[in-house]
Amino acid sequence: MYFPLVTPLELLWNGWRASYVTTADERPAGDGSIFSAILASGLPDDHTHIVHRGRSTFVIMNAFPYSVGHQLVLPYREVGDLEALEPDEAAELWATVTDAVRAVKAAMSPQGVNVGINLGKPAGGSVSEHLHVHVVPRWVGDANFMTATANTRTLPESLPDTAAKLRAAWPRPSLGAP
């Protein structure tokens, strides 16, 4: 009789995913994106992992990051298309992306940084109704066997700790909660 080898790598605990899986469909359609809900929550930035607030954009830690330090840069206004941004929103968005890259380089000393945006569900947009730019610090070897074989990412630091580092390294003052 054949018994497959079961190793601890096949049974990895990542309990933080439970909140995502169990609440993904709880918000009724039309209530806005998860980002709009966070902004409307009234919770403090250190609780919601908002790193920076500008006049028309903000930066939040990705709750389900590709690597430690993964930030999302968004307009406050919920739009799904890049071309739907007002000129001042677009200018601030890209200036804030640049500041997010500066902050992550200063706080974490990555060997590289990915900056990207997925427009629309077919392009990979997980919250396609509220465009967001990914700023992802990268290190040689950070995409290891864990993602490929266990569908799991290893993150050596908690979101609140990383957010605090990024806030401290941010190149311009934040406006704080509106």
Q: Is 64 exposed, middle or buried (0-12, 13-18, 19+ CB in 10 A)?
A: exposed
Spell out the domain ranges in the chain. Answer: 31-167
Query: What is the homologous superfamily of the domain 31-167 according to CATH?
Result: HIT-like (3.30.428.10)
Q: How far apart are CA 163 and CA 57, in angstroms?
A: 17
Active-site positions? 132
**What's the length of the chain?**
178
pLDDT at 64: 85
Q: How far apart are CA 176 and CA 159, in angstroms?
A: 19
Only one residue has tokens 């206004």, namely 77
pLDDT (tens, 9 = 90+) of the chain, 178 residues, equals 555 554 444 444 455 555 544 554 454 455 789 999 999 999 999 999 999 999 999 999 998 888 889 999 999 999 999 999 999 999 999 999 999 999 999 999 999 999 999 988 887 778 889 999 999 999 887 765 445 445 555 566 788 888 899 999 998 877 776 5
Describe the chain by its helix, strand, coil percentages, rounded to 5: 40, 15, 50
pLDDT at 153: 55
pLDDT at 178: 54
pLDDT in tens, 84-100: 999 999 999 999 999 99
pLDDT at 52: 96
Predicted TM-score (pTM) of this structure: 0.75
